[in-house]
Amino acid sequence: MSYLASIHIKADREHPYPYNVPAIKFAKNIDVSNNITFIIGENGSGKSTLLESIAFRLQLPHMDGRGYDKKCFDAARKLLPYLELNWNIERSVGFFFRAEDFGDYLNSVHRTDVNLHNQMGYLDQEVPDHVIQQMKDSANYQLHKVRKNYGQELDTFSHGEAYMHIMNEMVNQRGIYLLDEPEASLSPSKQLAFIYFLQEHLQNFDSQFIIATHSPMLMAYPEASIYEITDSDMKKTSLEETDHYSITKSFLNNPRAFLRHF
């Protein structure tokens, strides 16, 4: 049995942002009780805002810690009074991962490391290199957290390998997992590996995944629920009825037909 049964946003206004985006306007009694629910729609439809609001409400840990005081969560903070969660089992355990957080976080760790290197440059001729490195590592709290949470420095991996490494480290128990556009970090072969990862995880744990995506490959996960957001509604649909599937399939079957006028 899943944790969350459904989500519902009952706002008393439709303007301005974030109340005017389709995902917020039309998120009415959305059944998320399946083990995997995909939220799909065009850019700007509010998929990420919806996931952020759920994560904010649940206070799920995310890439750079548990806090939700950053400005990027302002929309979720505004929506909090209007978000209704209906539960099968009320237990807020899991992880929230936005693809954009991964790059931002590693860049932040790297910038801190560079700044520390510059600050300690005067020690180069006086202190052994390994001692300077230990001093930098001790001063770089973010790097310490990377090693503590993920086992080693993530910048030693490729982007897709690092994403899968995070999945293995953080998605390792029964819980609610909110993933925002994981395909942004994954090649087609890595997307397939991610699908296998989901399958293996669900064979061992009765977890719940809510995933915002543009990837028809991920949407094709057997028996997953798909909710498509348009300018007029948000409704459950089949893979074959989604624009993502039909456009991708049509283009791959005959790319010349799409490009003949260019």
More confident residue, 76 or 259: 76
Report the C-alpha gap between 136 and 114 in whole angstroms: 10
Number of separate domains in the chain:
1
- For residue 143, give both structure tokens: 């790097």
d(CA 51, CA 66): 15
Q: What is the pTM of this model?
A: 0.83
3-state secondary structure of 80: helix
> Closest by alpha carbon to 63, among 22, 28, 39, 96?
96
**Cα dihedral 35, 183, 45, 253 sign:** negative
The parent domain of residue 199 ranges over 4-99+174-259
Q: What is the pLDDT of residues 208-254, one digit of tens each?
A: 999 999 999 999 999 999 999 999 999 999 999 999 999 999 999 99
b (16+ CB within 10 A) / e for 56-76: bbbebbbbeeeebeeeebebb
pLDDT digits (tens, 9 = 90+) for 108-143: 555 555 554 565 555 555 656 655 555 556 555 555
Per-residue pLDDT tens over the stretch 42-95: 999 999 999 999 999 999 988 766 578 888 899 999 999 999 999 998 877 899
Residue-wise pLDDT for 182-192, tens only, equals 998 899 999 99
Q: Can you give the pLDDT at residue 194?
A: 95
Domain at 58, CATH number? 3.40.50
| Domain-located, residue 188 | yes
Inside any domain, residue 107: no
Q: Is residue 179 part of a domain?
A: yes
In this predicted model, which residue has the larger pLDDT, 260 or 222?
222
CA distance 32 to 89: 13
Cα(44)–Cα(50) distance, integer angstroms:
11
**Can you say whether residue 129 is alpha, beta or left, with left for phi > 0 and alpha for psi between -120 and 50 degrees?**
alpha
Does residue 116 lie in a domain region? no
pLDDT at 86: 95
Q: What is the pLDDT of residue 140?
A: 53
CB 22 within 8 A of CB 230: yes
In a domain, 190, yes or no: yes
pLDDT at position 153: 56
Consecutive H or E run containing 6: strand 4-9
Answer whether residue 162 shows pLDDT above 80: no
